[in-house]
Amino acid sequence: MGNDVERCCDGDQTPPIIMKPLNVYADDTACSPTYSVVAADPTPLPRRQLYFIWLIHASQGFQTTMLFPMLVFMVEKYGDTGVDERAIGWRAGILASLFPMAQFCTSMMWGVISDKTGRKPWLAFGCSVSAVSALLLGVCTTYKGACYLRFFGGLLNGTLTITKSALADLCDGTNQAKGFGILNLAWGIGSVTGPVISGLLAQPCVQYRMKHCLPILEVHPFLLPCVGAAVFSITGVIASLSFKETNPKQYRPMNSLFTQASYNKISDLAHAEDQQRQSQEGESAHEESKGGVLANKSCKQKLIVVISTDELSSLKRMTESKACRSEECGSSTRKKEHGQHTWFSWIDRNVLLASLCYAMTGLVFIITDELFPMFGAASKSVGGLNFSSSALGLILGEGGVVLCLYTLLLYPKVSRRLGPLKCFRLGILSTIPIWICFPMSSLLNNAPFLQWCLLLFCTAARSISACTAFTGSLILVSNSATPENMGAVTGLSHSFCSFFRANGPAIGGLVWSYSSGKTFFLHQFLAWNFVVMLSALTYGLSFYLPSTLIKPKCEPFRVDENM
């Protein structure tokens, strides 16, 4: 091998980068060659594009979470004469569930539309819908009107789906972790600013006892936070219009392999190997027996790839269906790869279990997202805390800050040490004592300092558990899929989770209405005990997940420069 390198790079003393296998697969599949080629350094991501995606996604996080601190107060304001406090719970739950239910109905449709017509116009359209629906919600005066606005605001808004698709267009296998981390950061910041702005600006005349309050704020006490959401969404519209289309309809040819610092597609590597081997055929019998040594004549890239002919055929089978963008290659490959399979042949036991665990995690946390504001705003006579909307907003905002810090600083270390399966189990198991501690704060009404300390601790711990459990379950879902069906498996899991999230707020409202109507001691614990049972069920379900899901079915390709 050393002689081959010397012949190729004669006169150049810079050591070449040699691609070598880092893992041998256990599964005997097309994705499991005898040894693997590893990819080069992570491809740089376009910062301008990432900034626009971050801004758009953060605006949607603001739009989604800004309603929670003022939800109960809105229902009270809209409430008909004679509606008691227990009915407010289920009404608030229904209002909160309409937005995700509408998005569950149309998220797949928006994804298909953006695939065929591009991402950019529908990002701008979705942000525009968010801005208009937020303004109309601020001036709405009836509960029925608010329900219509939330439902149609979600039905016509596919921004959350399309931002993920646009980011996937920008990423390749070498930089997905870094790219999708942008979405987590954006959602964390949006979830911080949404509750804080909502809690501080809702009902300003009553909350701050303003003597000379504007008449419009007396009639529409929730106008200011809705205006804030509209302004943020308009910023998203501007970002969408400035965003460079990532999915143009016309064909875009690939750049030459040797003008890039790294390979964007493994199929590029295989194709270049064929061409270089043919051009160098006959130069060395040793090179022919190994399948060829890849390098350009001047070795300007100093990249040498050792690849066997058996592995080359396996790599082609694995990547053709994803890498070929021309009409001829794409159509022939799809016929070859999927001609003998049914539409749902990719659904197996591991896919269903991983998707169900992810969906159950979403159900647990969306119920508590709904339950805590109702518990915090309820009067002490029914076991609540009697907090104002500003107090609830500050507590929820603290949880968002902790989520951002933990996601950026600590979770990567935890994940590397424990792996996705143990992270998921640890995250969901740690929620059980947290759900028990939340209602315990109602026993400290006579000690407000201790009550606030307990609530802030519980909210911070909840954010840490949510990040650990959600991210772990997402990795498990991804590892249950092969590259050929990654989109289908991810779509299935998101459908499950969207349905549970749509019904979670209504379930939380009904459970709180039931528990607040009881009169026995500690009746406020009933609703939280229901969530404890869901967490325990999800934790038990995780033991049906096989240990093979801790790593992908097809290992990622990496560059090792130390060979």
Convert the pLDDT of each residue in 50-60 to its tens digit. 899 899 989 98
CA distances from 276 to 41, 236, 262, 452, 546 (A): 22, 47, 17, 68, 42
- Give the pLDDT band (50/70/90) at residue 337: very low
> Is a pLDDT exceeding 70 seen at residue 394?
yes
- Please state, rounded to an integer, the average pLDDT across all residues of the chain: 74
The amino acid present at 455, given as its one-letter code, is: L
Output the pTM of the full model. 0.63
Reported as a pLDDT band with limits 50, 70 and 90, residue 502 is confident
Cα three-residue angle 85-87-92, rounded to 5 degrees: 100
Query: Sign of the CA dihedral 98, 99, 102, 104?
Result: negative
| Of 438 and 37, more confident | 438
Q: In 3D, which of 196, 195, 203, 209 has the Cα closest to residue 224?
A: 203
Q: How many residues does the chain have?
A: 563
pLDDT digits (tens, 9 = 90+) for 116-145: 787 899 899 999 999 999 999 999 999 999
pLDDT of 328 over the 80 cut: no
What pLDDT does residue 517 have? Answer: 77
Cα angle, residue 538 at apex, residues 535 and 544 outer, rounded to 5°: 155
Please tell me whether residue 40 adopts helix, strand or coil conformation. Answer: coil
**492: closest CA among 359, 345, 334?**
359
Contact indicator for 248, 118 with CB cutoff of 8 Å: yes
Dist CA 73 CA 89 (whole Å): 11
* pLDDT of residue 318 exceeding 60: no
Q: How far apart are CA 83 and CA 85, in angstroms?
A: 7
- Predicted confidence band of residue 16 (pLDDT cuts 50, 70, 90): very low
Query: 508: which residues sit within 8 A by CB, 6+ positions away?
Result: 93, 366, 367, 368, 369, 370, 371, 374, 527
Domains and CATH numbers, the chain: 2-37+262-324 (no CATH), 45-252 (1.20.1250.20), 346-563 (1.20.1250.20)
User: Six-digit token pair at 385?
Assistant: 């805390």
Q: What is the CA radius of gyration of the chain?
A: 27
Task: Look at residue 202 and give its three-state secondary structure.
Answer: coil
CA 161, 167, 172, 173 dihedral sign is: negative
SS3 544: helix
Cβ distance 19 to 269 under 8 Å?
no
pLDDT digits (tens, 9 = 90+) for 203-228: 999 888 888 889 999 899 999 999 99
439 and 378 Cβ atoms separated by less than 8 Å: no
| Least confident piece of the model among 279-288, 350-359, 384-393 | 279-288
Q: What percent of the chain has pLDDT over 90?
A: 23
| Proportion of the chain above pLDDT 70, given as a percent | 67
**Residue spans of alpha helices (H) in 343-387:** 349-377
pLDDT at site 274: 55
Q: C-alpha distances in angstroms, 77 versus 54, 70, 315, 404, 465? A: 34, 10, 62, 33, 34
The label of the residue with tokens 């749509």 reads: 502
Cα separations (Å) of 17 from 230, 260, 486, 557? Answer: 51, 14, 30, 14
For residue 88, which phi and psi values (nearest 5 degrees)? -65, -35
Read out DSSP for 222-276? Answer: THHHHHHHHHHHHHHHHHHHHSPPSS-SS--PPPPGGGSSS-S-HHHHHHHHHHH
Longest dimension (CA), the chain: 93
Nearest partner of 489 among 336, 325, 349, judged by Cα: 349
- In the prediction, which pLDDT does 179 show? 65
Q: Say whether pLDDT at 379 is over 90.
A: no
